[in-house]
Structures are given as structure tokens and as C-alpha cells.
Structure 1
């Protein structure tokens, strides 16, 4: 037995020497004793490939490439122990979750932390660290007992409560694992114990390569191998030899590997293992890797010196050994890297496998690099383990348990549905028919979701035995005849879709509730997955992915099922006999799924490797790209996010417990990781950094960039842009335009940007005309080119509908409401979307403002109608009687509102009581109106149109079409005066509303004047005599809060309330009419509390009064009719322009639901607001008079 070291700097040929020695042994003695190359787990694939691809070697059974984990299984297969139950990280985290809950009452600090995000992970990492560093519960307990008796300063750094909880949980955790299970930590300990019993291990020659350091458990294995194997060779990246008595410079670049070498020598000396002379790979010239790259060789030799000796030599002509690049953001960084990778493969004959991309923080780049490389057609392998939480199987398990736990909450139910795993298996057969069936089921499930949300179905209603017949309506009595919701066939389809969902989920719910133990629950969950044919569906998905050329996705589908089954097995093994609540069981499963990771073998030999500096072993690559070289990223700042704080960790280390180094040592070791990444490639190194993040915040380059600039002053930094620059200085601004023409899809998007610049008059490079001609000469690209060119002249503007389309859409007779006219004025496209295309937002079972408004209308109309029917005077009612009648009206209307929404819950019951108080308060004020005035209601909810009490307003439009204006008037009042019969229109509003003449002029507020026109036009037919317009008024239905510093008496309270309820609108400019509306205004200096008028002593009206003379009423009616005619003509002419109005701060898009459809954006060419100016009252009348006179 002996130990030998191969020592050398990066690129000196250590790995090649190990492989050459193994190859020599294989050629000399193919059937000899085992030859083992021990490498990190993530490097096994590359090492195996390097070994088996040796020319002339053929195959071999003598040599094996192993990681510590694979070695452990190999030894236990021979010496015993492989049959013990395997527990992985997921199983141990689930066990910790259960222990935290089980011992919550005994814990002093951790008792309420089991559900805190990340706590289980942090606790698990701490205990794994204890076990890997051979800190047993007994040893930790000894430290705790000692710490409790210490009185020196610093003990507070490890609080007694935390120490108590850490020890308690660690002891229980180890008790549950020891003796029964085999996990990754036990695996190494057991391997060290059994290595000497393995004939395979005793006779093997060992080469250990690619490690920077070893944890104590791994050192135990290496020590045992030193003791029983004929020879152990360890290669380390280091600049010189050390003896175990040498002191180490903590600032030395090679401190991590020097520390490892010293520990190995200490171990060998303690075991009396003889040490062979070390092999020192020192090159007087260039290291083995950099034979053709003098600049990279200079970088490797001088990286450790802070001053950075400037490079004096010259590189090979045409070669860029070192490239520095600044990118405008990470996307530009990724795309610039992709362009260069494609160029290397296309122009320099590289293979994809000759290229590696290194980052320090994978979370910032993984998704971005995946999308970018896919766009550029670059085959890649992302060296990371992937979470399964995104996979449909994991989502099905989580959401199904949530359904059982949360009493069929809709979100959980439809999360199950959207995994597609509840669909019948026959929907996943081969062929186009299978795809059509899947699409049909998805569409049907979408309709089911819409129906459920609109009808307010949730909870127990999912599982009720009777057929669903729930009404879907937006407000009172609105079930929309002929809609699918009321159609029998539609309801049958909803029941069929419901059965697909409810069948397996209700069976799971019942089985879980009947379960006595965790074993029963786990079996129920597994049977649920089996009943849904999840394994067969995943197999089908895997085959489909392979056929689609997505091998990684195919392997993912295959691995996920095995991972989920392993998870369930581990739950049974550890907790099978326990009796837990369903909530705790679901928490355990959730914790397990969160920790499941799947590692994929590279699906191809020829692909770009993407990895992190600390994990990835790049092997023999020619070109390396280091991305994200920003301050705080490279070198990385250690994050303190574990159970132990940094001072607490230092305290434990000072007490003699060996642990992972603290933040300071990690920060110092960053230099070694950076050195290894920068010296990984043999031909070229590219270091990039973004200038800004995704939010536009500036980023600072790393100190590494500054050092490289100092070492290589001749290297000019490049700028990476997302799009190629244009103009005469394009080459200087962002490189050669040819660099952007590397992939047809990406080049087409760049071409579009360049042509847009050209259209605006900016010069562009001739390269882009060559690119344009390339697409023109290739038929397969002509359609895409045409669409691209079309986009260059795109304006977000809708052309008018052809006359034939408009007639087919609207007909020769347009029947419309006034609100539709107002919508058109606000934005023509909005009218087209709502009434032409009949688009509407998804209905949701909730009480919205329009529903409340309709309830107010209906309740007040019902109160008035009952009073009319009983011959009662509203003004004679007391406040209590008003509240009683309002409450009764709301109670009668509640079952008809939104599918009984006011009766559906206690919350809505509370809202119903508030609505009763609001209607009651409004009734009281309307009673005061009745006492003070002589106007009485003669019509409530008066409809006008076909089949209604009043006929519609009819118009013949300029284009020959006819139009009818229909609608419903809340309330019409009548009073008899010396001039004749007066009629006024009142509209109940749930929000404060005013009638502004400027809005009438623009056509934005036509409703009230149109209603008045209807009743005046048809008065003789309706009331038996021609009538005079008395006014149009808005009554705000609300329950104002009266706030005063001092208490109010009854009279003051009534005055304040009436001030809040004062109606707004227009009133006939006539003192008698005003008196008929409020005969008490003279008692208040001519100021009315009920209507917006104030009379002077001389009988004239104040300027602030909202009054209109009889001639003005006539002009208003005439003007409104002309406006409606004009609007109707434009609608039937097919005008669907996207042109919303804007008046001051008010604009049409504020509450428009169709903005995602029209995509209106003022920055787009062709998109602009229809700006309306505010006009004074006198100017409005002048404009109206002018318009009337012109017609």
C-alpha cells in the first residue's frame, strides 16, 4: 500500500496523466486487477467518455469511473448492506417536518417554525453538515452540556433555547434513521467500515482526480483505501508540494487544495501509509493545456498576483484568446454569447462539446440561456438538478390533497384539471384524433370553469348527487334566454365534465378521511394516481417528447413518476404506522415534493455545457464563456441564511467541532474557483458582464474584469447589444453587423429593426440588404419575410367594416340603447367589441357595482309601486316605516340577484343589511321630497321600445338604415301647473353623478335628455295631454356619514343629510316649477335643499343654478336627436376606429375591459386620444345653437 500525489497547476495535464496511466495498464494487462478512477459525481460522464473513446482500446471491464456514491453501492453489493431501505433528501426532510410537529411542545425556539418557508431546508442542511463532518448527537450533546456551564463572554452567541432544540431534534432524527435506513451520510460511513472487506476494493489501483477538497466522511473512505489498496494516486491542482507540518498562507490562491494535501498527508502518516515521491507537473514553457495559447498561459501563471503583470507578447493572428465584453443587460449578454458560439462552430470547425458556459449564480441565467440557446438552435446541457414542482404529476398530488383538505376549493379543483392527468386515457392515444380529443376536453373544461365561477359553485356543491341547474345571470332576472347556461345540452355537458373531475377526487377524499394511519393515506394517494392512469399517460407523454425531438423532457416525464413513487415509499417506511391528521400528512407530502430533484444525464455527446463555477467540471474544452462578471457575483458574497449565524458557527468551530468554513474563508476561496473557471479552456476565454439588470438598475463590473484589463492592456472591451446598431459608426458601436446574421430566425428579427431605422431615414449597413436578398431567394422564408415587412408599416388602427359586413352584423334596422351611443362616443372600437363582437369579461360570482345599482333601482321602484298600489303618500311615512318597506323590498329581491348571492354567506348577509340601510335612508329622503313638493311618480321602470308602454325613438339614418332607441326609465314624475302638465325624469345612481352640458355637447351624456325626449314626445299618448319638460335629475342612493365636532340635533342632522342627497341635473327655468319640486326653498333665502337651484329676491336665478329655459329644452332635444342620428350612421357605416376620448384627467380607457383586445398605446403610430376640451356653459350653448341652426 502506498499513496502518491500528482501535483500541478491548472492545465498542467493531471487528468491526462491519470487517464494515460489507466490506459497503459489496460493495454498491458486487460484482465488484471480493478482500476478505479474516482471523480466528483458531476464529472463521471465526461471521465467515462474520455476513457472509452481511447483509440484502439475497445471496451473494458477492468477500469471503472466511480463517484463516492457509486463506489459505496459497488462495495455494499459485494460486502453487504445494499438491501437496507434507501432514504434520500426528500425522505429526511419529511421526517424533520414530522419531528418538528410531534415535538412542538418540547421545543423552546423552533416550535412554530415548521411551516416557515425554507426552515426545513436550513435545518436539514445543518444536520447533514453535522453528519458529514462526523459530529454525532453524543458529541454535540457534550458540547451543549459544556456550553451551559460556561460563563465567559460569547455564550449568548449560541442561545440555550436554540442549543436545546438543535440537540433534541438531532437526537430524534438520528434515532429514526440509525439501524433501519441507508442515506447518503450513512452510505459513506458504512463504505469506510466495509471497504477492507471488499475484495474488489482491496485489489484495486486507485486514481482520485478532480476534487478540490474532501469532507471528513470522504477522508475516512480515502484513508481506508490507503490502508487496503496497493496504490492510491491523488491529483490536486496546486503549485507545489507541502508536508503535513507546513503552515498555510490563508491568502494563497491554492489554499483549498493545499489544505486538502496537508490533511491527506496527516491521514497517511497516521495510518503509516508510505508516501511515494510526488509527481510535480511543472512546465518551464507553457502548461500542457495552453500550448497554443500564450495569453491564456500568461493568465494562468499570473492570476494569483494582484498587480497583474501586463502581457507583453502577441497572440496568434486572427485569434482572440481573451475577450472582454460589456452587455447592456443579461439578455444582450446571453444573445452575444450565443452568436459567438454559433460563429465558432460555423467558421472555426469547433464542436458544440468544445464549448462551456460558466456562471456563478445559475438562478440569474438558467431560464435566459435556455430560451436563447433554443432560439439560436444551440444544443446544450444545463448542469443542474431540477425541481419537480413544475411538473403536472407533482401539481396533481398537491392540488388533489388541497381539494380533500380545503373542502373543494375551486382553485385547487381546476389546478387538478389543468394538469390534463384527469382526462380519460383514451384521449392520450396516437394520432391527430387524440390531439383533437384532448383539445375538445380542454375546451369543455374551460366552459366548466366559466360556469362554476359564474354560478358560484364551490365546496359541497361539487359532490351533490343532483344534476346542476344553477342559473347564471349578471343581475336581477338576467338569465339570458337562449344562452348555453340555460340550455339542457350545455348542462348535460357540464355534468359529464364534472363527473370526470369529481369521480377520482371524491374517491381520494373519502379514502383519506377513512384512513387510520399514514400507510392508509399513502395507499389512498397511490391508488388515486393509478386510477387516473398517471403512469401510462406519462409514458405516452415521454414518447411524444422523443418524437418531437425533446429527449430531456422525455426523460423528465419518466423520472418524475419514479421520484413520486420513491417519495411515497419513504413516507410509508418512516411514518407508515403513525396516525396523523390529513393536514399534517399533506404538509409532509408538500415538504417532500419541494425537495425532490431530478438530475438528467446529458442527452447528447455533442452539446454546449452550461454550469456553475463551484459545481461543474468542464473537462477538456477549447472555449469558455464566463458570464455575469459583476461586483458581488464574482467573487460571490457568502449568504448567511442557515439555522446557525456566522458568529454561532465560529463559536462551534472554536470549541473543536469541525464544520464547513465560515463566510470569511469562503470568500477567500472564491479566488480559486475563479482561477479554475478562467483557466478551463485551451483556446479562448470570454468574460462578459451586464451593465444593468432587468429593471434598468446599473451594475458594477467585477474586480476580475479590472485585473484582466490590467494584465492584457491590448484587449479592447466589446459592447454587446440586443439589436445591431445602425448608421456609419455601427461597427464601432456594437461590432460587425455580420455577427448578428448567425441564425435565420434571429437574423430576421434584426433585419426588421434595421429596416425600421431605414424607413425613418437612418442609414444601415449593406449587410442587411444582403440578408434581405437571402430571404427573398429562399421560398421557405418568404412568408415569414412578408409578415415581418408587413409589421414594419403596422399601425394599430382598424379600417372601417365593409358595408356588407356591417349590414350582416347590425342589420338594416339597428336597435340600440342610449348607453350604447355613449359608449361609441367614448371609443368606437369599444362599441364594436361589446355590441358587434359581443365580447364580455368572464363572469364571476360576486356582487359588483352594477348589481348593487340594479338592486337600488328595483328596491326603490318596488317601494314606490307598493305605495301607489295602496294609495299611500310617500311623504306620510315615518322613518321607521321607510326602513321597514326598504328592508322588505330588499328581502324580496335578494333571491333574484346573482343566483341568490346575498343569501350565500354570512359576509353577503352583512352586505345585505348594509344595502337595506342605504335603501331605507334613500326612502326617507324621497319621502321628504314628497312632503315638500307636488311632483308624484306616474311611471316606475318605464320601458320604451317594442312591446313596452312607450314606443321607441325612431330614426332614419343618412345611409338608409333605420334605428330605434330603446331603454328603461327609472322614474317619471308629474305635476300640474298653470302652464300645464310638467314631467321630470329621475335616475337613481349608486355613485355621485352630474349632468354637464359639455358632455352632452360631445355626446358623452345623452341618456337623461333622451329619456326626457321620449316622455315628452309621447306624453299625449301616455298621460293624455302634451307636457312640458320640468327637468332631468340624478338621485344619489347612498348612506352618507355625517361627521361634526359637536353633536347635531334632529333638524341639523336632516339639513346635513339633505345637503348630501341634493339631486343634480337640469331644471326648467321657472319659479313655479321649482316651487312644485321644493316649496320650502323660499324659507331658506331661495336656496333649495333638494334640487340644484337658488332663486334671487327679484325672482331671477343665481348663475350657479342648473336651469334651462323652455326654448333651450327644445334645442337640447333637437341637438341630442341629431347627435344620436350621427352616431347611428357612423356605427352602421362600420366605423370601428380605436380612438378613445380624453378630457382632462378623464379618459375612456380607465375602466374599459377591451384594452387587451384593442392594444391601444399612445406611443404606437396611429394611436392617439380624441382630445376633448372643457367648455364653459355659455360656449356650450353657443355651439349647440350653431349646430341646431346648421341643420
Structure 2
């Protein structure tokens, strides 16, 4: 008999997550040991919610409760049913494999032939292939639709044929060797009926507004196995009577369509019972999110037209205007200290949301460190910005022509036995005398060039100071050129992927990179920069894994040095570090689209400028919005792209502006980093939608 599918509908702050946690806690109190109680969440929310659940149990602990994302849930099931022995390919491995496929089959492509040679194409292709697999669009399906479009949409037809070829080649390369995350989900769907872990289990699914076809099949498998499944969705409690739910442009329409899809495609074919529960406010007043009336008014009226200004004092909401971004960040940091010192908030109760990460994250690091405010930047960090990744990339470019810029860039990574002052001296000398080329950098004789005080005396003798300076410069040159010269010699002899990988590893060993990273880690820990320490500790293992995957994927395959550099570059671009929060009391800095800051006591939203909030919808991936429309009309299910992106943007803003319980700070800068003016539309809505907050201007 199929289980029951229960929907819990409510607006932001109504207590949907609290309901899930409370019901799980009640199940555990009834029977500490028994069938599993599983809470499925987006991956980025699992850490915080698991801690909240543990706190609700008042230190009693739990054995039956599990907090998973879909991928970790798949791993848990496969541990019992089998299927984990085959290696999982990482994103780095995917990029490397795709780069090889593009190198081998690039000339067969019709639509993507030129694009395939550009840097970054492998990353975009990887995301597209993930989407195709998660929506079960096989090469055969793509080929058939391509034939149908051959006469009416020739460009789309060529694009589909190229993707069918690349998807087929990628599947062939993976067959019998690796699985990826999408393969693991398919295996989970296959193994669910035989899983003992889910027998008698209850499931709560929270934090999602839509599910892809694979995730829907997982939910169907749980219901078919007799499990009761509760799905929370952000919806207006009026359900089908609410314009915000049923209108195609409504705030909650994406969630409403998800509810409809789960009923029609999952519950109804299985004959599963469907129940609706609506929540308008938390059962326990202490669990209520909005402690300030102005914040509750913002939740009700943020996107309501016409705007209805609220009467009364706007305690809890601040709209701040700053002359530039640096002053904006400084003002936010000062207010965080005020909350910590005068209102006794813990740093862990405070979050900062940014939309323009490139514009604000660097400033936030500088200012928060300067004010001694502990913070953690939530999200994956690109390894490509770490000095070690820069060393690997720049070293190849440096020995290609021994030009000034890449050589000095390589030296400035900090791994060579030279201080910054010594590198400055060497750089000034190289610029003054135009030193370039391997012959000059690696010559056996000392560098003879020096500044002459007269054009007439060709045999002008060196002064004692000049001679000492030349000796020092030549010593610095040999310290820099020695390891690079050995590296260049090994590259010249190399012909295979294994040879090139061994050459770069030899350079890293010669420079004693592991020892330097250990020293950097200890220094960062001493300065209480624990996130930086974690980065230094993790980056070496990540790079070694990249080298292993290079050798495993390519091994003894002959390859030009340029092709190897391209593959290595794609691998470095794909490397990401996921840092676990290094402490318990810190300000969380997070992006709008993926964060776990719900119910934070204070939220700071920076950079609320027009064009950023809301962000203009842009086409992403290899399919345009028109392509997606044509595929949908041809009967293929695929994400709709731009339209859903625009509506999702509206919901993201709604969620961001409604996450705070006590204090909401919304700020914008009048000028950007280069003094250019910034449009100022986004901050107006909270000013009018809530009770009028205090407006401040930072000079």
C-alpha cells in the first residue's frame, strides 16, 4: 500500500521548518529506537538544520533521525543495498574527460566547433550534460528531435546533434569506469524497493520549491514503498483561492506548479492519499520568526500592488545610503558591533547577504578582519584564486617564452625562496634592462648589465656598490630561474600526460610547497583566520587529486603541451573547496540564492541597487530561452530558463528580505568601485512595504 503524501503550505516565517523539526522530535520521544525519521533538505541547509534539531532535543541526542540532501541520502541507501563500489567521478574529472572528448571530436561538431576551443566551454558543457541526464534526455531522444527540427530550426537541430554526440561519447568514456551524481540518483531509484533503511521510515522534505524528474522519482519510490512523505512548500495558505499561487506571475506560482506535478505525476499514479496542511503562524510563539511588526509587514506587502504604506514606528528596519561601497561596508560592520555590544546579540545570530559577490566579498573580508569581527563566507570557494593554483598555471606560461610578466607573476605566488623586496628588486632590474627569453634567464655567466653614467666611456668601471648590487641580482635570478629551468627541461622531454604531470609535481617538490602550505596554515591559525587555514590545508590534497585524475584519465596518451595546459586549466577552474565553519560564533556571509540564514536575528543586505535586486534575467548554458521553448513544444521536459529565472529572482528577494526576525538592514552605495553612479531602486520597496524604517545617510 502506498504511503501518504502530505503538503505543508505557508508563507515565510509561518513555521514550516519548525513543524518538521517538532514532529521529528515527537517521534523520537515516543520511540528513541525504531524506523528512520529522515529530513531531506537542499545540501547547503543540512549543517544548520541538523544543529537546530539537536538543540530541540535538549542534549538527549538521537539515533533514528537523519538530515540529508538527496545525494547523501542516495549514499546512505546504497550503503545497504550495494552500488557504492564503482568510483564517483568528481567535477574535476568530468571537466578533464570532456576536454579530452572535445579535443578528439571537436572537428566533428557543427554548431559548437569554434566555441569548443574557448576557455570555460567545458564548464558550461558539463552543466548542460547534467541537466540533460537529470531530465532523462538521452542521445537518442536528442537525435530524434534534431531530425524533426532539421527543416524549421536548423541551428537548434545542429546544436542538438552536437550535444547528442558529446553526451554519447561522455557516456562511453564513463561506462564501466565511473558514475556521476546523476548516475547515483538513477541507482538510488532502482535500489529503493529493496532498501531496508526506508522500511517503515517517515520523510519530511523541506526547503525546496521544485524537484527535477529524478528527485520526483525518488519521492515516488518512497511512497511506493509505503513511506509517509511530508513536503513543505512556500505557498499562500489560501491555496487555489490565492492569486499569488495560481497566477503565472504570482510569487508562489513555482511552488504551486510543483505541488500540482507531485499530485499528478507522483501520488495519483500510485493511488497515494494526498493531504494538505496550512500553517499561518508557528504553534509555539517562541518559534515565530518576526519579532518586529515592521518585518511582518514587509513579508505581507513586499510585492503587493498597490503598495500600502504602514503606519507607526519602523523599529527593526534601517535603510542606509552610503557614498560608496567601502563606506557602506564600514557602516554595516559598525552596526554589527553595536548589536553585539549594546543589544548582546551573538555573532552567530547575524547574517550578511550579498548579490554582487565580486564587488563586496573582498571589501567584507578587509573590513570585518580590521574590526576583529569573526566571520565565515558560506559557499564553495574556487581554488583557482589560491596562490598554489596560480603557481601551477603561471609556471607553464613562464617557461613558454620566459617573458617578464608571467615569470614575475610566478615568483609572486610566494613559493619561491625570495622575499617580496627581493622580487621587487629583480623585477625592477628585468624591466630596466629588458631581460627576456630562456637564454638570458638561464645563462651560466653572471648578468653583466648595469647602469652607465656616461655614453663616452665604454669601459667604465663598476663602483663597489654597483658590483655588490649585480652580485645580489644575479643570486636572486639564479634562485628564481633554477627551479623553472629544471621544470622547462622536463617539459621539453615530455610527450605524455604522465610526463607533464610528473614535471609540474617535480617543480612543486623542488619549491617545498607542502612545507610552505603547512607554515601558512599555522600562521593563519595563530592570527585566528581559521577559514584561510582550512583552505591552505585542503588545497594540496585537492591538487594531488587533480593530478591523479589527469594520469588516470590520460596516462600514457601522447599529447601536446598546449593541449595539456588547456586540460589542466579546465581542471583548476573546476576545483572548489567546501569549508566547514571553523567555529560556533561567527557572522555568516552568504549569497542570496543559497544560504541557510532563516530566522537569523539580524540580516544585513548590501548593494540593493537597481539591476542587482532584482537581477536582470540572463540566458545560461548552451540552450537559449527560445531553444527551451521549442523543446518544450516538442514534448521534452526541460527547465524553462529565462521566465522561471525571472520569477525565481522575485522569490529569492522575498526570501532574503524575510529571513530576519529582529533587525533588517538594507543599504546601497551611490557610487561603485570606480566612482560610477549606481541606480537605486531596490531599497524603496522595504521602505514602503513595511512600517517606515529609519533612514540614514553615511557620508
Matched residue, 2:641: 662
SS in 2 for 1:298: helix
Q: Does the C-alpha gap of structure 1 residues 483 and 667 become closer, same or farther in structure 2, counting only changes over 3 Å?
A: farther
- Please say if 1:372 is aligned against 2:350: no
Specify the alignment match of 2:487 in structure 1.
508
**Residue in 2 aligned with 1:459?**
437
Does structure 2 conserve the Cα–Cα contact (< 8 Å) formed by 1:326 and 1:688?
yes
Report matched runs for 1:714-793 at 5 Å: 715=692, 718-722=695-699
Root-mean-square deviation over aligned CA pairs: 3.0
Q: How big is the shift at 1:326?
A: 2.8
In the TM superposition, what whole-angstrom CA distance separates every residue of 1:116-142 from its partner, at most 9, and x where no partner exists? 354333333322222222212221111
Q: Which residue of 2 aligns with 1:650?
A: 629
Q: CA deviation at 1:541?
A: 1.5
Residue 472 to residue 601, structure 1, CA distance change in 2 (3 Å): same
Match of 1:521 among 492, 495, 500: 500
Residues 485, 656 of structure 1: CA spacing in aligned structure 2 closer, same or farther, 3 A cutoff? farther
Rounded Cα–Cα distance in structure 2 between residues aligned with 1:38 and 1:59: 19
Q: State the Cα distance separating 1:678 from its structure 2 match.
A: 1.7
Q: Which SS does the other structure have where 2:615 is aligned? A: coil
Q: Distance in 1 between matches of 2:583 and 2:225?
A: 38
2:227 and 2:275 mapped to 1: Cα distance?
16
The structure 1 segments of at least 4 consecutive aligned residues displaced by more than 6 Å after TM superposition are 284-287
1:481 maps onto 2:461 in alignment: yes
Superposed CA offset, 1:906-950 (max 9, x none): xxxxxxxxxxxxxxxxxxxxxxxxxxxxxxxxxxxxxxxxxxxxx
Q: Give the Cα separation in 2 of the matches to 1:254 and 1:473.
A: 73
After superposition, the C-alpha distances for 1:1038-1082 in whole angstroms (9 at most, x for unaligned) are: xxxxxxxxxxxxxxxxxxxxxxxxxxxxxxxxxxxxxxxxxxxxx
| Counterpart position of 2:118 | 116
Sort the Cα spacing of 1:147 and 1:66 in 2 relative to 1 into closer, same or farther, 3 A. Answer: same
Change (3 A) 1:249 1:179: farther
In structure 1, the partner of 2:415 is: 421
Decide which of 203, 206, 209 is 1:206's aligned counterpart: 203
Aligned-partner SS, 2:12: coil
Aligned partner of 2:212 among 202, 212, 215 = 215
- Deviation (angstroms), 1:637: 0.8
Which of 667, 675, 682 aligns to 2:654? It is 675
Match of 1:180 among 177, 185, 192: 177
Tell me how far apart the structure 2 counterparts of residues 626 and 210 of structure 1 sit (CA, whole Å): 21
Taking the aligned partners of 1:485 and 1:466, their CA distance within structure 2 comes to: 23
SS in 1 for 2:288: helix
Contact 1:86 1:183 (8 Å CA) reproduced: yes
Structure 2 residue matching 1:277: 3-state secondary structure: strand
Partner of 2:300: 301
Query: Could you say if the C-alpha distance between residues 462 and 568 of structure 1 is closer, same or farther in structure 2, counting changes exceeding 3 Å?
Result: farther
**Cα deviation, residue 446, structure 1:** 4.4
1:128 corresponds to: 130
Residue in 2 aligned with 1:8?
10
Contact 1:256 1:672 in 2 (8 A): no
- The counterpart of 1:595, out of the listed 562, 574, 580, is 574
Partners in 2 of 1:711 and 1:456 — Cα distance?
63
Match of 1:395 in 2: 390
Alignment of 1:538-617 (within 5 A): 538-617=517-596
CA contact (8 A) 1:471 1:485 kept: no
- Give, in whole Å, the separation in 2 of the partners of 1:196 and 1:499: 66
Q: Report SS of the residue matched to 2:665.
A: strand
User: Which residue of the partner structure matches residue 337 of structure 1?
Assistant: 332
8 Å CA contact 2:498, 2:555 repeated in 1: yes
- Compared CA separation, residues 109 and 325, structure 1 to 2 (3 A): same
**Partner deviation per Cα, 1:183-233 (whole Å, 9 max, x = no partner):** 232232222223333322345322211122222222222222232263222
Identify which of 377, 398, 405 aligns with 1:411. 405
User: Are the equivalent residues in 1 in contact too, given 2:315–2:694 (CA < 8 A)?
Assistant: no
Q: Distance in 2 between matches of 1:484 and 1:35?
A: 81
Separation in structure 1 between the aligned mates of residue 571 and residue 465 of structure 2, nearest angstrom? 42
Number of residue pairs the alignment of both structures matches: 691
Say whether the 8 Å CA contact 1:326–1:689 is kept in structure 2.
yes
Determine which of 443, 450, 458 is the counterpart of 1:472. Answer: 450
Asked if 1 retains the 8 angstrom alpha-carbon contact of 2:318 and 2:696, the reply is no
* CA distance 1:60–1:413, shift in 2 (3 Å): same
Q: For 1:479 and 1:396, how far apart are their aligned partners in 2? A: 41
Residue 304 of structure 2 is aligned to residue 326 of structure 1: no
How far apart in 2 are the matches of 1:516 and 1:658?
45
Q: Displacement, 1:490?
A: 5.9
| Superposed CA offset, 1:886-916 (max 9, x none) | xxxxxxxxxxxxxxxxxxxxxxxxxxxxxxx
For the 8 Å contact 2:328–2:669, the answer to whether it is kept is yes
Instruction: Mark the CA change 1:479 to 1:14 in structure 2 (over 3 Å): closer, same or farther.
Output: farther
* Equivalent position of 2:223 in the other structure: 226
Q: Secondary structure at the match of 1:522?
A: helix
Q: Distance in 2 between matches of 1:457 and 1:78?
A: 64
SS in 2 for 1:200: coil
| Aligned counterpart for 2:190 among listed residues 188, 193, 215 | 193
The TM-score with structure 2 as length reference comes to 0.91
For 1:45, the equivalent position in structure 2 comes to 47
Shift in Å, 1:555: 0.3
User: Looking at both structures, which has the greater relative contact order when contacts are Cα pairs under 8 Å and sequence separation is at least 6?
Assistant: 2
Query: Scaled by the length of structure 1, what TM-score is found?
Result: 0.55
Instruction: Give the direction of change, closer, same or farther, for the CA distance of 1:451–1:649 in structure 2 (3 Å limit).
Output: same
1:550: how far off?
0.8
Q: Are the structure 2 counterparts of residues 84 and 529 from structure 1 closer, same or farther at C-alpha, using a change threshold of 3 Å?
A: farther
Q: Give the whole-Å Cα distance in 2 for the aligned partners of 1:308 and 1:106.
A: 56
Q: Distance in 1 between matches of 2:686 and 2:424?
A: 57
Deviations 1:91-112 (A, max 9, x none): 2223333322222322234223
**Contact 1:46-1:619 at 8 Å conserved across structures:** no
Question: Within 2, Cα distance between the matches of 1:257 and 1:584?
Answer: 45
Q: Which residue of 2 aligns with 1:281?
A: 279
SS at match of 1:320: strand
> d(CA) in 1 for partners of 2:647 and 2:518?
48
- Matched residue of 2:696: which SS? strand
Q: Tell me by how many angstroms 1:652 deviates.
A: 1.9
1:352: which partner in 2? 347
Question: Could you tell me how far apart the structure 2 residues matched to 1:536 and 1:273 are?
Answer: 62
The correspondence of residues 925-944 of structure 1 with structure 2, limited to 5 A, is: none
Whole-angstrom CA distance in 2 between matches of 1:335 and 1:632: 23
DSSP 3-state at the match of 1:182: coil
Q: Give yes or no for the alignment of 1:170 onto 2:167.
A: yes
CA distance in 1, matches of 2:283, 2:31: 35
| Alignment partners' CA distance in 2, 1:83 and 1:529 | 32
| Structure 2 CA distance for aligned equivalents of residues 568 and 299 of structure 1 | 51
1:146 corresponds to which residue?
148
Task: Report the CA distance between 1:497 and its aligned residue.
Answer: 4.2
**Deviation sequence 1:561-602 (CA, Å, 0-9, x none):** 122112122222322242110110011111211222212222
2:28 equivalent in structure 1: 26
Name the CA distance, whole Å, in 2 between partners of 1:74 and 1:143. Answer: 37
Contact 2:146–2:156, Cα closer than 8 Å, also in 1: no
Q: Deviations over 1:248-306 (max 9, x none)?
A: 42122111211222222223325515235333213499985246333322332334521
Residue aligning to 2:257: 259
Q: Deviations over 1:392-443 (max 9, x none)?
A: 2112211222234x143343333332223233xxxxxxxxxxxxxx64xx54
8 Å CA contact retained: 2:495, 2:560: no
- Between the aligned partners of 1:361 and 1:469, the Cα distance in structure 2 is 48
Partner of 1:36: helix, strand, or coil? Answer: strand
How far apart in 2 are the matches of 1:453 and 1:303? 58
Structure 1 residues 283 and 548 mapped into 2: Cα distance closer, same or farther (>3 Å)? closer
Structure of higher CA gyration radius: 1
C-alpha displacement of 1:707: 3.8
